[in-house]
Amino acid sequence: MPVAEKSAEKKKSMAKVAIINSENSVPNRALSVFTRSRDFLRDVRAEMRKVVTPSWKEVQSTTVVVIIAVFAFAAFFYAVDAVLTPLQTHLYHWLGALQ
Protein backbone atom coordinates (compact mmCIF):
# COMPACT_ATOMS: atom_id res chain seq x y z
CA MET A 1 0.00 0.00 0.00
CA PRO A 2 1.52 3.39 -0.99
CA VAL A 3 2.32 5.93 1.69
CA ALA A 4 -0.39 8.36 0.52
CA GLU A 5 -3.06 5.69 0.89
CA LYS A 6 -1.80 4.74 4.36
CA SER A 7 -1.89 8.34 5.57
CA ALA A 8 -5.40 8.84 4.14
CA GLU A 9 -6.55 5.65 5.86
CA LYS A 10 -4.98 6.77 9.15
CA LYS A 11 -6.71 10.16 8.92
CA LYS A 12 -10.04 8.41 8.46
CA SER A 13 -9.50 6.21 11.51
CA MET A 14 -8.34 9.16 13.60
CA ALA A 15 -11.40 11.16 12.57
CA LYS A 16 -13.72 8.62 14.20
CA VAL A 17 -13.94 10.23 17.62
CA ALA A 18 -17.53 9.38 18.48
CA ILE A 19 -20.17 7.31 16.79
CA ILE A 20 -23.42 9.22 16.38
CA ASN A 21 -26.71 7.43 16.96
CA SER A 22 -28.94 8.29 13.98
CA GLU A 23 -32.16 8.35 16.07
CA ASN A 24 -31.35 11.27 18.36
CA SER A 25 -27.86 12.42 17.28
CA VAL A 26 -26.35 11.52 20.67
CA PRO A 27 -22.89 9.91 20.84
CA ASN A 28 -23.05 6.24 21.65
CA ARG A 29 -20.36 6.41 24.33
CA ALA A 30 -20.02 2.70 25.02
CA LEU A 31 -19.46 1.83 21.38
CA SER A 32 -17.24 4.87 20.99
CA VAL A 33 -14.99 3.70 23.84
CA PHE A 34 -14.57 0.27 22.27
CA THR A 35 -13.94 1.76 18.83
CA ARG A 36 -11.38 4.23 20.13
CA SER A 37 -9.71 1.54 22.24
CA ARG A 38 -9.48 -0.80 19.26
CA ASP A 39 -8.05 1.99 17.08
CA PHE A 40 -5.59 2.93 19.81
CA LEU A 41 -4.38 -0.65 20.22
CA ARG A 42 -4.06 -1.02 16.45
CA ASP A 43 -1.93 2.14 16.33
CA VAL A 44 0.20 0.91 19.26
CA ARG A 45 0.82 -2.37 17.49
CA ALA A 46 1.79 -0.55 14.28
CA GLU A 47 4.22 1.67 16.18
CA MET A 48 5.72 -1.26 18.08
CA ARG A 49 6.57 -2.89 14.76
CA LYS A 50 8.78 0.12 14.02
CA VAL A 51 10.79 -0.22 17.27
CA VAL A 52 14.37 -1.37 16.78
CA THR A 53 16.47 -2.73 19.64
CA PRO A 54 19.89 -1.06 19.73
CA SER A 55 22.99 -3.18 19.32
CA TRP A 56 25.39 -3.77 22.21
CA LYS A 57 27.91 -1.39 20.61
CA GLU A 58 25.30 1.40 20.42
CA VAL A 59 24.32 0.86 24.07
CA GLN A 60 27.96 1.06 25.16
CA SER A 61 28.66 4.23 23.18
CA THR A 62 25.56 6.08 24.39
CA THR A 63 26.30 5.03 27.98
CA VAL A 64 29.81 6.48 27.70
CA VAL A 65 28.38 9.72 26.30
CA VAL A 66 25.91 10.00 29.18
CA ILE A 67 28.57 9.35 31.83
CA ILE A 68 30.90 11.95 30.29
CA ALA A 69 28.06 14.48 30.09
CA VAL A 70 27.15 13.91 33.76
CA PHE A 71 30.73 14.53 34.88
CA ALA A 72 31.04 17.59 32.62
CA PHE A 73 27.87 19.14 34.04
CA ALA A 74 28.96 18.29 37.59
CA ALA A 75 32.30 20.05 37.00
CA PHE A 76 30.55 23.07 35.46
CA PHE A 77 28.11 23.47 38.35
CA TYR A 78 30.92 22.97 40.89
CA ALA A 79 32.91 25.77 39.22
CA VAL A 80 29.89 28.09 39.08
CA ASP A 81 29.13 27.36 42.75
CA ALA A 82 32.77 27.93 43.73
CA VAL A 83 32.72 31.36 42.02
CA LEU A 84 29.29 32.55 43.12
CA THR A 85 29.39 31.49 46.79
CA PRO A 86 32.19 33.93 47.80
CA LEU A 87 30.49 36.68 45.81
CA GLN A 88 27.20 36.03 47.57
CA THR A 89 28.89 35.99 50.99
CA HIS A 90 30.68 39.25 50.19
CA LEU A 91 27.40 40.82 49.07
CA TYR A 92 25.66 39.74 52.30
CA HIS A 93 28.47 41.26 54.39
CA TRP A 94 28.32 44.48 52.39
CA LEU A 95 24.55 44.73 52.85
CA GLY A 96 24.87 44.03 56.58
CA ALA A 97 22.92 40.79 56.56
CA LEU A 98 25.86 38.81 57.98
CA GLN A 99 27.94 40.21 60.82
Estimate the share of the chain in helix, then strand, then coil, as percent rounded to the nearest 5. 75, 0, 20
pLDDT digits (tens, 9 = 90+) for 23-49: 555 556 666 888 889 999 999 999 999
Clarify whether residues 59 and 84 are in a common domain: yes
Clarify whether residues 98 and 64 are in a common domain: yes
End-to-end, the C-alpha distance of the chain in Å comes to 78
Clarify whether residues 43 and 8 are in a common domain: yes
**Domain ranges, residue 98:** 54-99
Clarify whether residues 65 and 29 are in a common domain: no
State the chain's mean pLDDT as an integer: 81
Q: What sign does the dihedral 37-42-47-51 (CA atoms) show?
A: positive
Clarify whether residues 45 and 65 are in a common domain: no
The total number of structural domains in the chain stands at: 2
